[in-house]
Amino acid sequence: MSHDLYELARLIHAEAEGEPFIGKVAVGAVVMNRLKDPCFPNSIREIIYQPQQFSPVADGRLARIANPNPDCIKAAEMALSGADPTGGALYFYNPDKVSPHNWIRSREIVYIIGDHFFCV
């Protein structure tokens, strides 16, 4: 497994383990969409570990995932191959876990899957 696939699958596992499969692909797609956007870092690893972007990095959950589950690996493979059910989202959040005054709530919602809102 390539390093990019492994890192992306771990993030998907941490962020979307309980989400439907399409939601797992969507989380991976957000990382890939950021990779194409000049406002974000230039590698998957840098995007994942960019400060204050993904809560599993900040709270240490990502570091504890050594073996992402097979669905998360498949979702990462699809995202790396260009699958994007979000239509270009750069952000996502769970409205039940984000403060009502958080900046993310000001972003335009383009897609909702399971518990995640995907935004541009």
Task: Specify the fold of 3-85.
Answer: Arc Repressor Mutant, subunit A (1.10.10)
Cβ atoms of 102 and 13 closer than 8 Å: no
Q: For the residues 69-87, what does the mean pLDDT come to? A: 97
pLDDT digits (tens, 9 = 90+) for 19-51: 999 999 999 999 999 999 999 999 999 999 999
Q: Which two tokens stand for residue 77?
A: 């493979």
Q: Where in the chain are the domains?
A: 3-85
Block residue for tokens 């497994």: 1
Name the pTM for this structure: 0.94
Block residue for tokens 């570990």: 49
Cβ atoms of 42 and 35 closer than 8 Å: yes
Q: Strand order of the sheet with strand 91-93?
A: 91-93, 116-119, 109-113
Q: Which two tokens stand for residue 93?
A: 């959040």
